[in-house]
């Protein structure tokens, strides 16, 4: 009867040295693979961010260049004003008096 009431001990740690070595190798392998996958993902996102930044910089540069060229081409020659005259024009002349 004492065999039926014996406590069963369950442990995840094995006393077998071969099992311990294999578990340590599996742990090192899993950590190495996860490190490599993480590094690849990091550099992939970093590369995409750099490509996006370069594309935005080129687009802004082209837009500024186009605006500068449009502004210089559309601006008429505004040299010196030699002579000018201001003409004031009113629609209803009956309400005003002759300024002369």
Decide if 10 contacts 16 (C-beta within 8 A): no
Q: Both tokens of residue 70?
A: 């449009």
- Helical H segments across 1-100, by residue range: 17-74
Are the C-beta atoms of residues 97 and 91 closer than 8 Å to each other? no
**Euclidean distance between CA atoms 100 and 95, whole angstroms:** 15
| Phi, psi for 6 (deg, rounded to 5) | -70, 135
**pLDDT per residue as tens, the chain (100 positions):** 455 667 766 667 788 889 999 999 999 999 999 999 999 999 999 999 999 999 999 999 999 999 888 877 766 656 666 777 777 777 775 655 655 5
Give the integer Cα–Cα distance in Å for 70 and 78.
16
């Amino acid at each position: 009867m004492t065999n039926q009431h014996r406590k069963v001990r369950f442990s995840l740690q094995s006393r077998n040295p071969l099992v311990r070595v294999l578990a340590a190798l599996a742990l090192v392998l899993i950590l190495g693979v996860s490190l490599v996958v993480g590094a690849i993902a990091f550099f992939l996102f970093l590369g995409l961010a750099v490509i996006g930044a370069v594309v935005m910089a080129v687009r802004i540069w082209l837009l500024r260049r186009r605006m500068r060229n449009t502004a210089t081409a559309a601006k008429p020659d505004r040299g010196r004003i030699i002579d000018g005259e201001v003409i004031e024009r009113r629609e209803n002349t009956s309400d005003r008096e002759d300024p002369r």
